Amino acid sequence: MIPQEAEYRSWMLAALAGDAAAYRMLLQGLTRHLRGYYAKRLGAAAAEDAMQETLIAIHAKRATYDPARPFTAWVYGIARYKLVDEYRRTKRAAAVSLDDAGDLFGADEAEAASAKRDVEKLLARLPQAKRDLVRAVKLDGHSIAEAAARTGMSETSVKVTVHRALKSLGEELGDNHADR
């Protein structure tokens, strides 16, 4: 997560609640990031126009922001679409990958947050005891012996429980994907 994420998010939430000063501060902060993002990809002249278009889109779409999700990922998505629009408008080919968000906010954090939410949704399908074992062994890196000692189960029981829990999630995912 970028250092400004919490600050930007708090400004956005305050702005959505009607705080005009917070909204100005948010737009000023975003202007710096967006200007650099577009200048690298489009050049200085086109960067200003793309930045303004993005700020307008953020303003127009501000009610769609979901406070449960990272704010900078939401902004990056808008910026990426505006970049594609600019490439189409000028018939230019992208010189850099559109997935390269390092200069703007860091998409890796957004992807990691999204993956973490997905894993938590999956784990929520398991009974609490199985969920705790899978989390301890597969996510937190505890050994089978440590998990067994903590729960009072045998090591064999821990292995079998974790294996069966993962197998049931895999089967459930397979069934869900087959329906699509």
Phi, psi of 73 (to 5 degrees): -65, -40
What average pLDDT does the chain have? 82
- Confidence tier at 108 by pLDDT (50, 70, 90): very low
In the DSSP assignment, the letter for residue 94 is P
Q: What is the CA radius of gyration of the chain?
A: 22
Residue 26 in tokens: 């948010």
Query: What's the CA gap between 2 and 83, in Å, rounded?
Result: 21
pLDDT digits (tens, 9 = 90+) for 52-107: 999 999 999 998 988 888 888 899 889 998 888 888 887 655 555 555 545 555 44
Confidence at residue 43, expressed as pLDDT on a 0 to 100 scale: 82
- State what percent of residues in the chain have pLDDT above 90: 30
| pLDDT value of position 58 | 92
Q: Match 């999700």 to its residue by tokens.
A: 69
Q: Rounded to whole angstroms, how far apart are CA atoms 175 and 167? A: 12
pLDDT at residue 153, as a whole number: 93
pLDDT over 60 (residue 110) = no
Distance, in Å, from the CA atom of 66 to the CA atom of 48, rounded to the nearest integer, reads 27
Indicate if the pLDDT at residue 1 is higher than 90.
no
Q: Check residue 179 and give its pLDDT.
A: 45
Q: Tell me how far apart the alpha carbons of residues 30 and 57 are, in angstroms, rounded to a whole number.
A: 12
Higher per-residue confidence, 106 vs 23: 23
Q: pLDDT for 4-14, tens place per residue?
A: 888 999 999 99
